Amino acid sequence: MAMIEIRHLNKAYSNKPVLTDLSLAIDSGRIVGLLGPNGCGKSTLLKMMAGLISDYQGEILINGHQPGMETKALVSYLPEKTYLSGWMRPMDTFDLFADFYPDFDRRRAEDMLGRFRLEAGQPIKTMSKGMQEKLQLILVMSRQAKVYLLDEPMGGVDPATRSAILDLVLKNYQEDAVMILATHLIQDVERIFDRAILLGFNELVMDDEIDNIRQKYGKSVDEVFREVFKCSVSL
């Protein structure tokens, strides 16, 4: 059985459907790009897998369980918006995570903090957007989870930092884990995916291995993405 099973999933916000009859299976050891234009339901899907949204039809199973108490321990979720308080310093956030999650590896977090040249004692409110994003990613990646759900983890960072973050993801990624990275910035990122799931509006546009997509179309997933959605917008 796949680590993540999604069957006939339907979700609407006040009668406006966002996801319609979506079915997917994702095995362990995969880094998956969840791609799609704004508003196609990427964040919604991650929130449902993280157990933060539960009013939907259909089935989501994580390691055989519905999202809830049992899966919270398995899932490390990076939300799109920060939930950390501005007064906190990285060392406080480490205390928080150590309290909440038995699988939090503080030494790993401290090591990454040093690599990104962040100060353990600097309050979050004085950090740039990019620094905050790095800190959040460090927290999420320092858990020994089975499923990592990252919602736009690199929206506010420069290309060099984006590269460093991708390397960090590759270095800290566990081989038996699933990582799903939702983003609309595909370029530069697609090299770390082995599979891309392209969500359109209420449809699964494409679900294939990155190299198969490149082979089939003779172009990058980024370009395929642009073409697919250019068409859907002009229609």
Partner 1 sequence: MPIEFDANMPIYLQLIARIRQSVVSGEMPPGSKLPSVRDLAIEYGVNPNTVQRALSELERDGLLYTERTAGRYITPDTGQIGKLREALSAQHIERFIGQMRALGYQKTQLIRILTEKWSDLDGHD
Interface with partner 1 by CB under 8 A: which residues?
29-31, 163, 166-167, 170-171, 173, 175, 187, 190-194, 210-212, 214-215, 218-220, 222-223
- Looking at the Cβ atoms of 65 and 191, the one nearer to partner 1 is 191
- Looking at the Cβ atoms of 6 and 196, the one nearer to partner 1 is 196
| In the complex, minimum distance from the CB of residue 24 to partner 1, in angstroms, rounded to a whole number | 18
Rounded to whole angstroms, the maximal C-alpha distance in the chain is 52
Burial of 116 (0-12, 13-18, 19+ CB in 10 A): middle
- Looking at the Cβ atoms of 92 and 222, the one nearer to partner 1 is 222
- Looking at the Cβ atoms of 193 and 229, the one nearer to partner 1 is 193
Q: How many CB atoms lie within 10 A of CB 95?
A: 14
| In the complex, minimum distance from the CB of residue 93 to partner 1, in angstroms, rounded to a whole number | 26
State the pairing for strand pair 195-199/178-183: unpaired
- Looking at the Cβ atoms of 11 and 190, the one nearer to partner 1 is 190
**Do 167 and 161 form a contact (C-beta atoms < 8 A)?**
no
- Count of residues for the chain? 235
| In the complex, minimum distance from the CB of residue 193 to partner 1, in angstroms, rounded to a whole number | 6
3-state secondary structure of 218: coil
State the pairing for strand pair 4-13/57-62: antiparallel
Helices 159-172 and 129-141: crossing angle in degrees, nearest 10, is 10
- Looking at the Cβ atoms of 66 and 212, the one nearer to partner 1 is 212
**Phi, psi values for residue 50, rounded to 5°:** -80, -5
| In the complex, minimum distance from the CB of residue 166 to partner 1, in angstroms, rounded to a whole number | 7
| In the complex, minimum distance from the CB of residue 121 to partner 1, in angstroms, rounded to a whole number | 30
| In the complex, minimum distance from the CB of residue 26 to partner 1, in angstroms, rounded to a whole number | 13
**Phi, psi values for residue 19, rounded to 5°:** -125, 130
